[in-house]
């Protein structure tokens, strides 16, 4: 199957009928379109599906419909802003990303994502980490995100180089984690207040919509199941706790909202945090969210080997901890 050409701006004026090949068998319609129409906004793709512009075997479909080998997929005319839209200056600026790859094999790479960089392009964001890597890494357009991290969060991010790995890891991230069959995820977070013992939070989370253009998540009985365990590691200052946070599920803003729900907001959190506490943290040099994807453990799909990955605490967060310890 041919990919869109690499011109910076491409217009497909005609309807395309694509026969689904084996490598796309059982892939969801929305995910397939997001893959082959790189550069088309997500909102446009979902609108095409919702309006019936996208059809499978001449019938309307939902985004979750699984494609099968031999299906005939109708793709309407679209304007695509390709990965080539990433300016040369951005490629030069972010060339350091290859130095942040901490693990790589034939099917997978793990990168220590810096704070402030979105994982992908989106509303108001011209490009993200995945678009940059597709330009500077030899695997190019074969690279696909296996999961997401908030823009403000730093740490471990998995990116597949082969579809087998992408499907496998997507499945793992959807399972209840920290189990023998799932993936173990641990974050480091600096919290307001003193947490004296391990606390497991199982409040359901609900996406309330958007406020000022951003998603807001709240604790709500009609939300989806979510579970996090906060384990205190140290107390850098009288009213702060450094915690390891085990995520048993993977919901949007899970650590941040669960921390807020127990009255211990994450330091530097401008959306769910405590403004007064954040001002105090800025006085010791914290100018970002103190949340870091610290450790991942899972079995590889080809040989079953346990892979243990760790991204040490970033220098800027370590300096904050040292400054807090100096105030004791």
Residues with active-site annotation = 150
Cα 10 to Cα 80, 81, 85, 280: the distances in Å are 5, 7, 11, 49
Question: Quick one: tokens of 284?
Answer: 């010791």
Buried b (16+ CB within 10 A) or exposed e, 257-275: bbbbbeebbbbbbebbbbe
CA dist 190 and 277 (Å) reads: 11
**Residue whose C-alpha is closest to residue 316's, from 278, 279, 283, 285:** 285
CA dist 251 and 203 (Å) reads: 11
On the CB side of 237, CA atoms within 13 Å amount to 18
The gap from C-alpha 12 to its chain's centroid, in whole angstroms, comes to 30
CA dist 199 and 33 (Å) reads: 41
Show the DSSP H helices in 74-224 as ranges: 88-93, 129-136, 163-174
Question: Quick one: tokens of 287?
Answer: 């100018």
Q: What is the dihedral of CA 119, 131, 83, 174, to 10 degrees?
A: -60
Residues in the chain: 328
**Residue whose C-alpha is closest to residue 17's, from 51, 46, 48, 55:** 55
- For 259: left if phi > 0, alpha if psi spans -120 to 50, otherwise beta; the answer is alpha
Per residue, the 3-state secondary structure of 200-234, as one string, reads EECCCEEEEEEECCEEEEEECCCCECCCEEEEEEE
């Amino acid at each position: 199957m041919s990919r869109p050409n690499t011109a910076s701006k491409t217009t497909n004026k005609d309807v395309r009928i694509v026969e689904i090949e084996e490598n796309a068998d059982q892939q969801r319609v929305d995910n397939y379109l997001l893959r082959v129409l790189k550069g088309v906004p997500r909102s446009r793709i979902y609108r095409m599906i919702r309006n019936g512009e996208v059809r499978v075997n001449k019938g309307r479909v939902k985004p979750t419909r699984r494609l099968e080998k031999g299906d005939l997929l109708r793709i309407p005319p679209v304007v695509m802003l390709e990965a080539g839209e990433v300016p040369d200056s951005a490629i030069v600026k972010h060339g350091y990303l290859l130095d942040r790859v901490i693990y790589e094999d034939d099917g997978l790479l793990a990168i220590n994502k810096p704070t402030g960089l979105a994982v992908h392009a989106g509303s108001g964001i011209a490009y993200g980490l995945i678009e940059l890597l597709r330009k500077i890494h030899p695997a190019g357009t074969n690279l696909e995100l296996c999961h997401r991290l908030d823009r403000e969060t730093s740490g471990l991010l998995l990116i597949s180089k082969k579809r087998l790995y992408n499907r496998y890891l997507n499945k793992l991230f959807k399972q209840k984690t920290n189990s023998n069959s799932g993936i173990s995820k641990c974050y480091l977070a600096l919290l307001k207040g003193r947490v004296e013992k391990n606390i497991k939070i199982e409040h359901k989370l609900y996406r309330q919509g958007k406020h000022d253009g951003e998603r807001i998540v709240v604790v709500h009985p009609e939300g989806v199941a979510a579970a996090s365990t906060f384990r205190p590691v140290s107390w850098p200052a009288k009213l702060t706790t450094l915690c390891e946070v085990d995520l048993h599920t993977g919901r949007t803003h899970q650590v941040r909202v669960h921390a807020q729900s127990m009255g211990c907001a994450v330091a530097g959190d401008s959306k769910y945090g405590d403004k007064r506490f954040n001002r105090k943290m800025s006085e010791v040099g914290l100018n970002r969210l103190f949340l870091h994807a610290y450790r991942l453990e899972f079995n590889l799909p080809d040989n079953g080997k346990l892979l243990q990955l760790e991204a040490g605490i970033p220098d800027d967060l370590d300096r904050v901890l040292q400054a807090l310890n100096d105030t004791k």
